[in-house]
Structure formats: structure tokens, C-alpha cells
Structure 1
């Protein structure tokens, strides 16, 4: 745990009985330690993962990727501990298998395209969508927040959709690709948006409307199944949760825990609004899409779309608007002190994209960027 974090956390015993759970999934790149290129090493790495962690480590789409998942819980200290053990265990397993674990949105270095994992579903995806998948792999972070009633969960999706772009900006962590600076803070986002079912979540009238759209998208051929619903927030197909899936994998645990805290507080704020009878804003779909593009381009280093007015504003001002909006729920869940502390660290150090560019500017070497990413990934 980072110095100074522990004293920012309210004891779990003080928790209210109706608090909501949060869990996190993180995807990582497996790279060649010498060249930095993505390597198809996932099976060799899984063989080295300690037995007690294997139930929380799994394959992803490409053989150059690996995923970890925390159990859901109320206490962010426990979440941090769980993710830290997983990150460290998988990083050591990667080293034992002759690879390197990188917490990065997509591979910064050129190299051969690793194959997809040998699963019938993945082969069908390649057959159907062809060249949408080439590259080293796209690595995201998914936050699961407990909402049991699907009808209420759909209303939550409506309430949170205008605020997701600023969280997208805060996770930006993939400025380099094929050995060069892309000009974007999150190039992973640009690669990911090639998939036809990747989009901001639309405004939904009901759970029946949500299900009907899924059926229609599958019938159209845009998706093979409901697992390919790549909206930026959705109802999990496996758990009674709202799943927020807007960002690059975060470079450090500090970043991950901050985003998890803000996502839970945003969902809890939406639930409070729903209970009070407040309707979700019907923000235009194209404006939300534009806000996500700007988030991928600038991260927090430039401009963002104000979700209330639709105007361009400095990204940090919009992020602080979000924090002010969800502050009561941060406090209610015992996360306010921790979130405030980690927000200060993020403001001081910058997003992952800003940190990568700072290392490159200082050293002139992408290898130094990879060294720093590997260090942060260890948890």
C-alpha cells in the first residue's frame, strides 16, 4: 500500500448496511523483456500463477493478454489488497515464463501480431469481423458496482452516461503505438472503437428496451452474442452489477482504486436520484460520443465536454464537478478521504499517458517507458 493511504480510509466497521459493492477486472499486456513487443505467452504465464490465485486470473481475447478480477466487496482497502496480490503474482509468473507484465492500454512497440486464444467463439469473431482485431491487444479496466434489480440498473445507466467521458479521460494510458506517439492520450480507445458494437450507452426506456436492442444487434450481425455488447456501461451478463467499461487499464493501483471509488459513488448517486424521482438527463448521443472522443484525445491534460452544459471546459474542472456531485456518496461509503488523497496524487503525477510521455521526454527511450510501466504494474 502506498505511503499515506491507510490513514485516509474509514474503518469498514463504520459502514452503513445499505452500501453497495464494487469489484474490478484489469487486463494486461504480456511483452518480450528485450524488445517490448507483445508476445503470445499467456498459457506459459498461467502455468506459473500460484494455485491460490488461479481462480481470479483468466485468458483474454489474444494470447498476449491476461486478466485479473477481484471479488466484490465494500472496503476499498480489501479491494486494493486483493488486486495487489494478483498484480504481483501475475507479474512474477510472467517473469518466470520469460515475459513481462505491462499495465498499458495497448502495446507501445511494433512486432508480430499475436494470435487469438484458441476458443471457438474467438475464431468465429475473427471469421466474422476479419481485420478489426489486429494488433498487440487492447487492455481495459471494468468496474462492477452492485445493483440487483435490472429495471433499476437500466435507469442507472441513463443517469451515469453523461459523466463517463471524464472517467474515460482519467484512465488514459496508451499514447504510444508502433513505436511512435499517436497524438492521443488513449490510442486503445481508437482501436477499440473499430468494433461495430462499441459505443456510448444509449438512453434506455426500460429493461425490455435494453433486451430488445441486444436481440436486434445480434440479429443484425453487429454482435455474435450478448458478450459483444461493448457499450461503455452495461448490465453484466454474469453478475448482478452495473459494469462500467470506459477506460484503459490503469498503470498503478492508486489510479485503479480512485476510479473504482468514483464509479461506485457515481452509481450510488444515480440510485439516490432515482429514489428521489429525479429523471436522468437525455444528453444527445452524438454529444456523449464527442465527449468520449475528446477524452481519448486529451485525457486530463486538455479539454473535456461539460456534461451539464455541453460546453468545452478544462478537463480537471469537469473532473472536480464529478467529485463534487458524488461527494455525499463518497463520504457515505467511507471513501472520501482516500479519494481526495488519490485525486491529489493524480493531479500531481498526471494520467498514465502523461507519465509515459514524461518518461519519454526525459530519456528519449521507449524502453524506459516500458520499464516504468512494468514497475507500476507490479502492485
Structure 2
């Protein structure tokens, strides 16, 4: 629910290099759950973790809505290597601070283990949200991934939002990482997605006529009381209220830094591909909102291991095949940004091991408990079970 911190502003040098080479910058925000050091339940330890953070991280780490959560924001980057290094450092440093505070950092969409509903963080904005919207966010916290990709101007950004709409369900499927909630398998690959949809402004962005149309909708939604401010515009893709970026934000937080890097690289290549279409005058397909909602539901239910909807034919197809189709579509921009080799390898790993939801269920299928799932998540979050870094 938070927004990027001041430490994530792009430097003038990086902006100049991006403009000179006609490349897009990207950054990632990740929300994590804090678990008890011994038990699998969530722990209201965020203030204790903050007290243990190194000073140099305090401008890129922030509170989230619940006291069981913490959020990080990588600096904007051009090179995927730099983004990967930043995310690994953030996970490692915040994870170490959590251990010093008697907790564990886990990258998971919802609390896998049973436990009491978490209290909200003591901030005026969060208290106002709780007062107005009531118990729309029960449980131990919902944790997502937000990818920021640079755009030249808001008007172009709105057109990119239109073009993004058909592609986001399959990216959501690839992020699925919350099959367990309160100690049982929900039957969904992303239970966070289903819980998140309770909020009144969550869902696909509408088809937008212009930036003026976008601003009018934001103002109307604020006036309606459905959100306090633009920060509560929870569309699956939106214009950042703080930075010149498109923010893609429909996915669960993913188990490993490599998972997040793959999502970020695909998102940047997709935005870059769509930017070229906008500049060429290609009209975005006006996909029917109910079909988009069905595709996002399917992504939450099946993840990448089942089916999703091919927006061109409106027929169900294997979600993995649709992700491969997206990869082929954006391949020229992956190559132009220097990301193709890394993304090809990460796609292979995703195909082999499955989404976070599939990997959590694999732990259970081997006779493991919810506690062992949380143990696996804690190790994977900090890269302790991961293959060699790419």
C-alpha cells in the first residue's frame, strides 16, 4: 500500500544516459512479511527491525500497513545486474536486521500460518484508512511487488497503460506466491490477489482517453470517498504519483531476488515495446473489462501452472505458453536493453521450478508442514537456497 521512498529518485547522470541511449530505467518495490524466529506465525516486529537497520538503508526501507510488514525500494537502474545486486543487498540487510530483532524476513503474498490478525502501523494515514474502510485487510498482511518503468511523459504513459491491459494477467500468473493462508491451502495460487480485490479501487485500469481523463477519474474517485488520495489508486498499472514512471503492481512479492528481476526485465521490455507501438500510432485493443477480470481471476487461481485467457482469441490456453508468447513479443527490447541472456536463463529456471505457489506446494507434497514452508521461504528470500547468482 505504500509508495516509493525519497531514496529512489533517479540521478541526473542516470537520466542523461537513459535519454542518450534511448533506454528505460526500472526499479522495484517489494513488501515482505515478518515471521517469528521460531514459530511460522507472523510477528509484529517492524519497529524492532527498523531499530536494527543500518543507517544507509533508512531512506529505502519503510513501514507498510500492518506491523508484520516491511517494504523496500531499489534505486532506479539501467543495468539488470545493478538491479539484481540492489535487491539481493536489500533482502540480505533487512533479513539480517530482522534476525537481530528476533524475527525472519519472508517474501510471500499472505501469512501462510494461522495467527491473530495483525495491528496496523501507528500512522495517521493508516488510522484514517482503517476508520473509513474497516476490516478490508484482515490477516497478517498482504505483500506485493511493484515495478516502475520510466516513461517520457504522462500522456504517453496513459497510452501505455491502455496497451498493458491485455498482458498483465499472465504477468500476474507468473508472480503467484500465496497459496496458503492461516494454515491451509486456499485452492488459489495467489490468495493475496483475492483478498486484495476487496479494496474499492483494486483492478485493471480502465481504457483511458487521455491524461486529462486519467486525472479526472482520480479526482472523481477521491471525491467519492473510495480512496483518500492518489496513493490509494490501486489499479494493476498506474502512473506513479511521485516519479515519471508507469507502475506495474498486480503481482505477489516473489520468493527470490531472481524471480523479481525476471518480472522487472519482462515489464521493462514490455513497456519499451508498447512505447514503440504508441509512437507508431498503433491503437491499443479495448479489451472488455469483464474478460480482463476473468483473466486476472484465472491468474490468481491457476498461477502459471494452469490456464489463462488468450486476449486475442478470448480462449483459455496454458498460462506458460502465454508467458512464452510475451517473451517472444518483447525479445527485441530485451536484447536492446542487454537483458536477453539473463532473462532466457531465468525463464528456464521458472519453467523448471515453477512459481512460488508451486514451490510452496511442493514442500507440502514432500510431507512438509506449513512451518517447513515458512523455513523454505525465509531461506529463499535471502538467497540461501537459490542457485548461483546470474
Task: Determine if the alignment matches structure 1 residue 33 to structure 2 residue 37.
Answer: yes
Q: Secondary structure at the match of 2:142?
A: coil
Query: What do the CA deviations read for 1:17-59 (whole angstroms, capped 9, x no partner)?
Result: 1100000000000011222111111010011111122211111
Task: Determine if the alignment matches structure 1 residue 19 to structure 2 residue 23.
Answer: yes
Aligned to 1:83: 87
Query: What do the CA deviations read for 1:220-251 (whole angstroms, capped 9, x no partner)?
Result: 11111111100000000111100000100010
Aligned to 2:102: 98
Measured after TM superposition, the shift of residue 356 of structure 1 is: 0.2
Q: Which moves more between the two structures, 324-333 or 33-42?
A: 33-42
Q: Which moves more between the two structures, 47-56 or 311-320?
A: 47-56
Distance in 2, Cα, partners of 1:241 & 1:297: 29
Distance in 1, Cα, partners of 2:198 & 2:357: 21
Alignment partner of 1:234 out of 238, 242, 253:
238
Task: Determine if the alignment matches structure 1 residue 303 to structure 2 residue 307.
Answer: yes
Task: Determine if the alignment matches structure 1 residue 166 to structure 2 residue 198.
Answer: no
Q: Secondary structure at the match of 1:363?
A: coil
Query: Size of the alignment, in residue pairs?
Result: 367
Aligned to 2:335: 331
Is this contact kept in 1: 2:310–2:316, CA < 8 A? yes
Aligned to 1:358: 362
Query: What do the CA deviations read for 1:63-119 (whole angstroms, capped 9, x no partner)?
Result: 100001100011000001111111000001000000111110010011111211111
Distance in 2, Cα, partners of 1:227 & 1:15: 28
Q: Secondary structure at the match of 2:357?
A: helix
Q: How does 1:135-146 map to 2 (within 5 A)?
A: 135-146=139-150
Is this contact kept in 1: 2:172–2:296, CA < 8 A? yes
Q: TM-score, normalised by structure 1?
A: 0.95
Alignment partner of 2:324 out of 299, 320, 325:
320
Measured after TM superposition, the shift of residue 334 of structure 1 is: 0.7
Is this contact kept in 2: 1:15–1:334, CA < 8 A? no
Change in 2 beyond 3 A, CA 1:312/1:16: farther
Q: Secondary structure at the match of 1:55?
A: coil
Is this contact kept in 2: 1:167–1:259, CA < 8 A? yes
Q: Secondary structure at the match of 2:373?
A: helix
Aligned to 1:7: none
Q: TM-score, normalised by structure 2?
A: 0.92
Aligned to 1:179: 183
Coordinate RMSD, CA, aligned: 1.3
Measured after TM superposition, the shift of residue 15 of structure 1 is: 11
> Is there any run of 5+ residues in structure 1 with no aligned partner, and where?
1-12
Is this contact kept in 1: 2:169–2:292, CA < 8 A? yes
Task: Determine if the alignment matches structure 1 residue 74 to structure 2 residue 78.
Answer: yes
Alignment partner of 2:349 out of 345, 359, 373:
345
Task: Determine if the alignment matches structure 1 residue 211 to structure 2 residue 215.
Answer: yes
Query: What do the CA deviations read for 1:232-289 (whole angstroms, capped 9, x no partner)?
Result: 0000011110000010001001111100000000100110001111111111111111
